[in-house]
Amino acid sequence: MNTNPDNQLPPQAPQPTPTTAAPRPETPIAQLTAGWFVDNYNWQAFYYFEIPLGLLLIAGLWHWLDSQPMRLSILKQIDWLGLILLLMAQTSLIAVLQRGNTENWFDSEWIVQLSLFSLLFFILFCGWELMIRCPLINIRLLGQPNFALINLLNLSVFLVLAYTYVLPQYLGQIQGYNTIQIGSVLIWGVVVNPFVAKLIEHLEARLVLAIGLGIFVTSCFMNSALTYYNGGEQFVWSQVVRAIGQPVIVVAISFIATNGVQKDQADSVFAIFNGIRVVAGTLGTAILGTLLTKREQFHSNHIVEAVSSYNTQTQERLEQLSQVFTTKLGDPSAAQTQASAALAGTVRQQANIMAFSDCFYFIGISLIVVGTIIFLLRRTSKPSQFIN
């Protein structure tokens, strides 16, 4: 836990790294590993580290998978046009979501054009898939009410994934944590995960999902009243609670989505389900990044209204800071400038803390609203077979 005495400037935010600035949720182990490389080498080294891991994976597949004759004729059966249309639509959408907050969304002509580009290719993809006999993805499956509802809920999982975006941002920007320290806070989730499956083997899937959402929402509300003195130690229990709820949600949604799927439709089911999950992760960081920016501006404006030069408390604070800087600098004029800058920094810092609290509160409330979809889902069998 950090402290900030009254006669000191608030700490500056750390320089962006792959684990504090990248708008994507990451696993705690990846966060910790990347942090070690950033602190001991540089952030590029983490990506070079993936090369030997990839070669090791290829060697393992080559050794353990049974060898089969090459069948190039299968390539002729692939819906290449559908694949190209889908790639154009999805990559354009992800680019919009990743750059939207930076470009101020639809105030940017580039974002508007790319959004229309993505929409056009998505419409063309859907039309093409409905016309051909052997589509790349059978999107008609979304016409089944239960499958459509669970994928709507699957899209809303961005709120769960975004949690692991907001917390590292808070620890890096407000507490000044380095990447290893951030990873050490998130690692508590990995400690609890292996023990979760045993808790949900004998319950109906919809009940499992409701329990998981309830637990996860609790962890969000545990972090919804942040102050500057909330550091890594204060997040341990909320991380443990999150680590119980998150895998329960993921397992339950996966089971409901695949329950009763016919073998010949399995490829399309998993393609739709995982495709939505990929978009959900990027969507979550885009929405939460924008919410952070807007709420920081909102709180900053309200705090500035109270911190007036005519306010007695403000004058006393500036006088205290001026005395501290005069002692250090020996120049009253420069000390006054530094005092004003220090007070402005404190305002920004407090506005950011309040914005982070709003984000956790937003995630919790949104999951409660989204959770009402559970009442519309049909009953499924117990998830024990799926878990095993």
Q: Average pLDDT, stretch 146-157?
A: 80
Instruction: Tell me the helix, strand and coil percentages in the chain, rounded to 5.
Output: 75, 0, 25
pLDDT at 65: 84
pLDDT over 60 at 97, yes or no: yes
pLDDT over 50 at 21, yes or no: no
Q: Which of 167, 183, 228 lies closest to 350, judged by CA? A: 228
Question: Could you please report the per-residue DSSP string of 258-320?
Answer: HTT--GGGHHHHHHHHHHHHHHHHHHHHHHHHHHHHHHHHHHHHHHHHHS-TT-HHHHHHHHH
Using left for φ > 0, alpha for ψ between -120 and 50, and beta otherwise, residue 105 falls in left
pLDDT at 198: 60
Q: Highest mean pLDDT range out of 41-50, 66-75, 288-297? A: 288-297
Q: What would the two tokens of residue 331 be?
A: 């120049």
pLDDT at 4: 41
Q: Average pLDDT, stretch 161-169?
A: 76
pLDDT at 88: 92
pLDDT over 90 at 166, yes or no: no
The band of 121, judged by pLDDT with boundaries at 50, 70 and 90, is very high
Count other C-beta atoms under 10 Å from residue 189's C-beta: 21
pLDDT at 52: 86
Q: 95-99, 145-149, 232-236, 369-373: which range is least confident on average?
A: 232-236
What percentage of the chain carries pLDDT values higher than 90? 6
pLDDT at 28: 60
- How far is residue 379 CA from its own chain's centroid? 30
Q: Which of 277, 254, 271 lies closest to 161, judged by CA? A: 277
pLDDT at 51: 87
Q: Average pLDDT, stretch 115-142?
A: 88
Q: Average pLDDT, stretch 18-43?
A: 58
pTM: 0.73
pLDDT over 60 at 12, yes or no: no
The band of 20, judged by pLDDT with boundaries at 50, 70 and 90, is very low
The band of 197, judged by pLDDT with boundaries at 50, 70 and 90, is low
pLDDT at 189: 57
pLDDT at 123: 93
Question: Could you please report the per-residue DSSP string of 8-68?
Answer: SPPPPPPPP-TTTTSSS---HHHHHHHHHHHHHS-HHHHHHHHHHHHHHHHHHHHHHSPP-
pLDDT over 80 at 283, yes or no: yes
Q: Average pLDDT, stretch 148-154?
A: 82
Instruction: Give the Cα separation of 36 and 221 in Å (integer).
Output: 30
Mean per-residue pLDDT of the chain = 77
Question: 65-86 pLDDT, tens per residue?
Answer: 887 788 777 778 888 898 899 9
pLDDT over 80 at 356, yes or no: yes
